[in-house]
Structure 1
Amino acid sequence: MVIDCTEIYTEVPSQLDKQKYTYSSYKHRNTLKGLVGVAPNGTITFLSNLYVGNTSDKNIVKHCGVLTSFLAGDLILADKEFLIQDLLPPGVLLNIPPFLMKAQFSSEEARQTVTIARARIHVERAIRRIKQYKILQLIPQNLRPYSSMIFQFVVF
């Protein structure tokens, strides 16, 4: 499975504590965040509930239930920020791009990065398709309690 998180804009909550939790420092706006998983052919195979925008990718993976989908021998492809090796079930492998430790990648690291990027394009395309639904462009406050249901229903 290829996984990535996406953020959906939400109206700014009226209560300050909710504003703090939904504010995404990455997007510089109030958001809700969900995990998307796709098969290597681009078919969406997993959608998490939506979490408040300041939730880390690792915490979403930990709590959303995606890890119960994997068996020993399965492979997860993800971006660099998914440092989730310690959460994986026994025998499940994680493949993330290498971190740049010197001035430039070695030829093997560059090849590995390109290979992972070719597979990750499928999850990026799936996220782009998801975000085309008008209702997911901005979740109004009155629909926020139903946001996870909307996110999952619109896609599946």
Structure 2
Amino acid sequence: MDTAAFADHNYYRQGPAPAPRPRGRRTEPRRSVLQRFSQSPEDVQFYTGFSSIEHLMAFWRLIERATASVGWPERTNSSDAAGNQEDLSSATDMVPLDEFLLFVSYLSTGWTMAELEQHLNIHNTTFTRIIITWANFLYGLLGSVRTWMTPEEVKAHLPREFIDYVDTHVVIDWIELHCQTASPSSPQQSLCSSHTSCCLLKGIVGVAPHGAVMFVSALCGPSASVREVFRQSGIIPLLSSDMTVMLNRSFRIDDLVPCRVHRPGEASNDSKDQAALKIHLEELFLAIRENKVFNISIPPPVSGSINQLFTIACLLCNYQRGPLGTPFKQED
């Protein structure tokens, strides 16, 4: 998606620059996270999900002014594994860019808290605060940007792979996220089986044919079928009779939507065009699923922000890479 979309939204109040956020006392010089992550294009891709350092810094410049409003969680005490009390409202000694990079590295690499502490020499309670803080901030920021595209916008970027499905408006699939449960009183326990310490949550994602993420639902618990997750997702009111949706994986929604449904995965035609389309559909959602956060279990300290993490991991794809496929003129 064109990053110029940010220009239509005012994310900060005009006026004097706000005072810098308070920082903790630095006990020793710290090598910046950007230095660690930007040794090569491959490092940038692996650690942040952005295709290049230029993409990464362009996105940072879009949100930099707004980061002045990033606030730490309300004052509360938490205990780490050793039983030590730590105040979640205390600030870190890191600059905002480093905090942001640590947050996206968690989404991209799926490192556990212990691995992050080992690789980056950052205590897991500090990193927990960073995840919660930036999850809340980016959820509000990215969520305020209009992502649902008009039919004209979709058709203007329609890839050649959709030559036989030019009426497609959005491609729909479901994505799963694992969540650990700390105790029977955990907020997530109502979504999970009482016989397990980990539950599988599902959400609906709608992607434009050229790769822009247009829609992300809230997560539903494992007892809900994919059809029920779709029904509760909130995407149905966005669909109209002149649209057509395409399913990346088949599930029955025909009686739930006011429009046509394409299922190329069920087509018996094994033509070259059909094969190219199926590969393209896999690539559309691979960009999202490459975030390793979808391959781990979200730990209890940050499980309260699981919906924010899910939404951000999906929406960030609009800024991490360019569009997929080559547009074609429908009159050709």
Question: Could you state the TM-score of these two structures normalised by the residue count of structure 1?
Answer: 0.70
Instruction: Note closer, same or farther for the CA distance 1:125–1:98 as it changes in structure 2 (3 Å cut).
Output: closer
After superposition, the C-alpha distances for 1:111-137 in whole angstroms (9 at most, x for unaligned) are 289867754555533433223334443
Instruction: Name the structure 1 match of 2:207.
Output: 38
CA radius of gyration, larger in: 2
Decide which of 116, 129, 140 is 2:287's aligned counterpart: 129
The alignment covers a number of residue pairs equal to: 140
2:310 paired with 1:151: yes
2:263 maps to a residue whose letter is: I
2:192 maps to a residue whose letter is: Q
Instruction: Name the structure 1 match of 2:193.
Output: 20
- Pairing of 1:31-110 with structure 2 (within 5 A): 31-79=200-248, 81-89=250-258, 92-97=259-264, 109-110=267-268
Instruction: Note closer, same or farther for the CA distance 1:62–1:116 as it changes in structure 2 (3 Å cut).
Output: farther
1:94 maps to a residue whose letter is: V
After superposition, the C-alpha distances for 1:36-85 in whole angstroms (9 at most, x for unaligned) are 11111121111111111232111111111111121221111115642111
CA contact (8 A) 2:201 2:222 kept: yes
Question: Could you state the TM-score of these two structures normalised by the residue count of structure 2?
Answer: 0.36
Secondary structure at the counterpart of residue 312 of structure 2: helix
Decide which of 286, 299, 309 is 1:140's aligned counterpart: 299
Please give the root-mean-square deviation of Cα atoms over the aligned residues, in Å. Answer: 3.2
5+ unaligned residues in a row in structure 1: which ranges? Answer: 24-28, 100-108
- Pairing of 1:2-21 with structure 2 (within 5 A): 2-12=171-181, 14-15=183-184, 18-20=191-193
Deviates more, 1:115-124 or 1:127-136: 115-124
5+ unaligned residues in a row in structure 2: which ranges? Answer: 1-169, 316-332
CA contact (8 A) 2:171 2:248 kept: no
1:34 maps to a residue whose letter is: G
Instruction: Note closer, same or farther for the CA distance 1:149–1:41 as it changes in structure 2 (3 Å cut).
Output: same
After superposition, the C-alpha distances for 1:78-109 in whole angstroms (9 at most, x for unaligned) are 156421111112xx11122586xxxxxxxxx4
Identity of aligned residues (%): 24
CA contact (8 A) 1:36 1:46 kept: yes
Secondary structure at the counterpart of residue 87 of structure 1: coil
In structure 2, C-alpha distance between the alignment counterparts of 1:22 and 1:132, rounded to whole Å: 30
